[in-house]
Copies of this chain bind each other. A is one copy, B any other.
Amino acid sequence: MSEHEDRQLVGAFPYVPQQKRAQQKRNSLLESGRELFIKNGYEPTTAKEIATHAGVAIGTFYRYFSDKRQLLLSLLQNQLDKMLPPEPKWVMANPERFLASILESHFKQLEQIGLHQVLPELIIRDPELAEVLIQSRKNWHARILTGLQQAKEKGLTWPDLELEMVAWSILVILENIPKKEKESGLKTDCVELAKIICRMVFPPKGMTP
């Protein structure tokens, strides 16, 4: 039943089609929504636009989604799934490798990050959605935190490390890289970035902490 894999969990959807043809139509709407939300923002994008872009009639839009918001939620559902961490194990020997993996998995999801641009607009208006997003961030945060804790327990980090705050700092930096790249137009040098972050966490090699 692999067709049901991404069945939506948020809200009660009017209809998740069983037939392949219909599935395609639904996906086409999702994809159109994603593109238009990213390009024009959430509010300014109309249901009609999405339908037209997807090559279906407006009535069809409302067959698959109760409204614009629900399409967005489905989209996020999909994306948040993709955001699930690729086993973020903090490898003690070479912490920078850990960061590399996080950065890698993060940047490979550039499209999904596109949606991130849209979210701030929504968080204010949609507390339910905000909650979902905050949870997602908390997961990220927790994963980073866990890694740090393990490293700390092994005596690898600064002994007085404020785990919470460092984890948060790392999270914030990672989150904002796409924005930085977009504004500057330059690709970020991951090695340098990892070095910087590691200095927050680990004392210099030659120094006994």
Q: What is A's interface to B at a CB cutoff of 8 Å?
A: 39-41, 43-44, 117-121, 123-125, 134, 137, 158, 160, 162, 165-166, 168-169, 172-173, 176, 180, 183, 188-189, 192-193, 195-197, 199-200, 203-204, 206-207
A41 touches B121 (CB 8 A): yes
Instruction: Report if A196-B166 is in contact (Cβ < 8 Å); known contacts: A172-B173, A204-B204, A207-B207.
Output: yes
Whether A192 contacts B120 in the complex (CB less than 8 A), given A125-B44, A173-B169, A200-B200, comes out as: no
State the Cβ distance, A166 to closest chain B Cβ, in Å: 6
| Cα distance A85–B203 in the bound complex, in angstroms | 32
Q: Summarize A's interface: helix, strand, loop or mixed.
A: helix
Q: State which of B117, B183, B196 has its C-beta within 8 Å of the C-beta of A200.
A: B196
